[in-house]
Structure 1
Amino acid sequence: MNVNGTARMLFTAEEYAARLAAVRLRMAEQGLSALLVTDPANIYYLTGYNAWSFYTPQLVFVPAEGDMILFSRQMDASGAFRTSWLPPECIVGYPESYVHRPHIHPFDWVAFALRERHLIAPAAKGCVGLEMDSHFFAPKAYRALVNAIPEWTLVDSFELVNWVRSIKSPAEIQLMHKAAVITNNAMAAAEQAIRPGARKCDIAAAITEAQIRGTEEFGGDYTAIVPLLPTGESADTPHLTWSEDRLKDDEPVVVELAGAYQRYHVPLNRTFSLGEPSAELSRLADATGEGLNAMLDVIRADVPVREVAAVWNRTIFEYGYEKDSRLGYSIGVGFPPDWGERTISIRSEEESVLAENMTFHLICGMWMDNYGYGLSESIRVTATGVETFTTYKRGLLPINS
């Protein structure tokens, strides 16, 4: 703890100030006189606050001018100074009596606290932005704000803070490089654990240990998504986790995981083959690998995102394949249940243009009938090309039992 009673900053005061200034610029452009931030990743990005407290309502009040205020459950607010750089007077806890009650909501209390601080009227001069697509902003929370603050015109902020996050600072890129080391180690742990007869839960356990253990120099965080392990015929379905079933000696194993450091995530997807792969799976792997390489060849700053999707589509079409789902998404800070930033997606309809230090998970999952193949890279866009964060070998990776 430093002299003003707040946590040591992960980033410099200047970087946090620049983040807030960028948020306020977007607020002004969208006609917002205040913003209520409820996404834990965005709260972390602005304030440094990092705890498993997002299962109860919490928010950061961001006025057009003046201090941000973090509101959370009292027992969490009491220790929030240990991770957040906000001064103690800007961290406010609501009473325990408001937690999980059927007829009252914590935001009832938060609204009155804002009113006591004379912050309602200034924010009523324009619209007040809400993160309407935040995983932890419930309909009941919205209703509480509408009823308690009738002076406000509440509108969707349309992932305002998420868009500010889309271009990373050099300091953020360095954290992602550390996360990438953990990613490589976790995938190596998966490869070592994958054997005929191995229980899927044991593979997940090996991955999780590597994710948390990190390296001798730095430890890892919990990840926003658990290890994903579609196997055999079920590899035609993404986002399956694990069971106690044992691996058969002739099935592929698709592994998707991430390394996380200081909440920054670097995901990775690879496919391992137990025994001789089928001809159709081998052909799919070749097409997918070529498609990924084609995307990596075209990515650089100032390239429209839709051009990245177009080169993939042309490449796999030559093999007779099509892919309806998106090909990647912006990554960085992640909290459960997702490590994506919910902004730019790599797809034909995307109107965004790539910029230097944007970071993406290029996910080339191909899900066919009763089989599938996964391959991905996490990348940084540079002025002249692309940097891949991880160094793990690609292709359909054989397991030598």
Structure 2
Amino acid sequence: MRLAAVKEEMASRGIDILLLSEPPNHNYLTGYDGYSFYTPQMVIVSLKREEPIWIARAVERPQAVMSTYLSDDSIRTYPDDYVNSLVGLSAYDVMADVVKELGGEKATIGVELGGYYYSAQAHADFLKALPQAKFVNADLLVNWIRLVKSPAEVAVMRQSGRIADAMINRGFETAAPGVRECEVAAALCHQQILGTPEYSGAYDCAVVMFGAGERALAPHPTWTDDVLPDSTMIYLEVHGVRHRYQVNLARTIVLGKPTPEYLKFADIAVEALNVGLDAVRPGRTCSEVHAAYAQSLGRHGYEKISRLGYPQGVGYPPASAERTASLRKGDNTVLKPGMCFHMMAALWLEDKSCCITQPFVVTETGHEPLTSTPRELLVK
């Protein structure tokens, strides 16, 4: 069904051959999973061919055989001489030969111009190798199809959510005065891979976000070897991953006694988050959900300048967000059952921050949280 949906969209756009460079799309359409995307690899979809063609460096072939459903003829490779070649060999020339084999010398070819793994050099090499072809931007073609998850995908997302819960719990247990920041981060990473007693976790698309003290005012900090003081604030964003499906979750931990003013600020943040979640239901737009959240926050004189949320699912570095819909003003994407978002209702202001977030899946009647960690400030 996934491949059929992609081919249907290709046909509607007049695309004969689709060159997919993004690792999440490789996984989504073929099942391929390997840490090999630092060298050129591609999945080629042709309207005239039943299976996609996966192509990467030769040493990755065993992984493709083990992790994909593809037949032997649909798994192609190029020699290692093409990796970081000092004599000008381009792996994209080998891929262009496959396009020619598919009758694509004069075809309309879709490429992911905005993808993280489609370089200017790759495009230049394809243009040179296929001068009579018409290249069009097909960025996000597969991503939009991925936006609605199947029941089986949602089940895996729930497992990822349980891992994220375990990570937050481990971080809360580990953080204490006199403990180094790196020790807390190490415990989080250990839990991420260990997973739960039922299933293991995996590496994430980014890194654990960890900010203590004034660094909790930043959205993407990492740990240091500083010792946690008796009283401080810690921002954690963790990423539960199962079978490459990632669920993000953030919490603020306070060591010591928070001030009444800060407790009120945290209550405001949670209230707005809950209002935003209550606004989620099929048929509503991303913008309408954002408006409900923003109105609640605005009643207290606060404004969140960054987007409220982003969709998640299959992910590889450098980012887990699917680069499609966003929970923000003006995004009129209509919510459908099966869409999974991280409602990143974190507030980073100049003098304070509060990071309490909620990943969820849209259901037939509203939303289902993908994690069970209480939506509250964690005080220790």
Q: TM-score under structure 1 normalisation?
A: 0.92
Cα shift readout 1:279-312 (whole Å, capped 9, x = no counterpart):
4432321111011100111101111111101011
Letter in 2 for 1:338: A
Q: Describe how 1:134-145 pairs up with structure 2 within 5 A.
A: 134-145=115-126
Query: 1: CA distance between counterparts of 2:194 and 2:62?
Result: 29
Query: Residues 70 and 270 (structure 1 numbering): CA distance in 2 closer, same or farther, change over 3 Å?
Result: same
Letter in 2 for 1:166: L
Contact 1:227 1:241 (C-alpha < 8 Å) held by counterparts: yes
- Alignment equivalent of 1:98, drawn from 53, 57, 82: 82
- Alignment equivalent of 1:35, drawn from 12, 15, 18: 18
Query: 2: CA distance between counterparts of 1:89 and 1:202?
Result: 48
Contact 2:308 2:344 (C-alpha < 8 Å) held by counterparts: yes
Contact 1:78 1:93 (C-alpha < 8 Å) held by counterparts: no
Structure 1 residue 118, shift from structure 2 partner: 4.1
Q: TM-score under structure 2 normalisation?
A: 0.97
Query: 2: CA distance between counterparts of 1:65 and 1:175?
Result: 32
Query: 2: CA distance between counterparts of 1:118 and 1:361?
Result: 40
Query: 2: CA distance between counterparts of 1:210 and 1:392?
Result: 15
Query: 1: CA distance between counterparts of 2:123 and 2:248?
Result: 33
Q: Equivalent residue for 1:217?
A: 198
Query: 2: CA distance between counterparts of 1:282 and 1:152?
Result: 61
Letter in 2 for 1:235: A
Q: Equivalent residue for 1:19?
A: 2
Q: Equivalent residue for 1:175?
A: 156
- Alignment equivalent of 1:62, drawn from 26, 32, 45: 45
Q: Equivalent residue for 2:330?
A: 349
- Alignment equivalent of 1:107, drawn from 89, 92, 109: 92
1:73 maps to 2:54: no
Q: Equivalent residue for 1:6?
A: none
Structure 1 residue 371, shift from structure 2 partner: 2.5
Contact 1:301 1:355 (C-alpha < 8 Å) held by counterparts: yes
Q: Equivalent residue for 1:82?
A: 66
Query: 2: CA distance between counterparts of 1:131 and 1:158?
Result: 4
Query: 1: CA distance between counterparts of 2:216 and 2:196?
Result: 31
- Alignment equivalent of 2:146, drawn from 161, 165, 169: 165
1:361 maps to 2:358: no
Q: Equivalent residue for 1:45?
A: 28
Q: Equivalent residue for 1:234?
A: 215
- Alignment equivalent of 1:190, drawn from 171, 176, 189: 171
What secondary structure sits across from 2:305 in the alignment?
coil
Once the two structures are overlaid, the 10-residue window that deviates more, 46-55 or 61-70, is 61-70
Structure 1 residue 128, shift from structure 2 partner: 1.2
Query: Residues 118 and 348 (structure 1 numbering): CA distance in 2 closer, same or farther, change over 3 Å?
Result: closer
Q: Equivalent residue for 1:371?
A: 352
Query: 2: CA distance between counterparts of 1:158 and 1:107?
Result: 18
Gaps of 5+ in 2: none
Contact 2:33 2:63 (C-alpha < 8 Å) held by counterparts: no
Contact 2:46 2:102 (C-alpha < 8 Å) held by counterparts: no
Structure 1 residue 337, shift from structure 2 partner: 1.1
What secondary structure sits across from 1:267 in the alignment?
strand
Query: 2: CA distance between counterparts of 1:163 and 1:109?
Result: 29
- Runs ≥4 residues deviating over 4 A: none
- Alignment equivalent of 2:304, drawn from 323, 328, 332: 323
Query: 2: CA distance between counterparts of 1:204 and 1:130?
Result: 38
1:388 maps to 2:372: no
Query: 1: CA distance between counterparts of 2:288 and 2:357?
Result: 18
Structure 1 residue 68, shift from structure 2 partner: 1.0
Structure 1 residue 341, shift from structure 2 partner: 0.7
- Alignment equivalent of 2:257, drawn from 276, 300, 320: 276
What secondary structure sits across from 2:322 in the alignment?
strand
What secondary structure sits across from 1:229 in the alignment?
strand
Query: 2: CA distance between counterparts of 1:308 and 1:198?
Result: 40
Aligned length: 378
Structure 1 residue 148, shift from structure 2 partner: 0.7
1:130 maps to 2:111: yes
Q: Equivalent residue for 1:9?
A: none
Q: Describe how 1:115-126 pairs up with structure 2 within 5 A.
A: 115=100, 117-121=101-105, 124-125=106-107
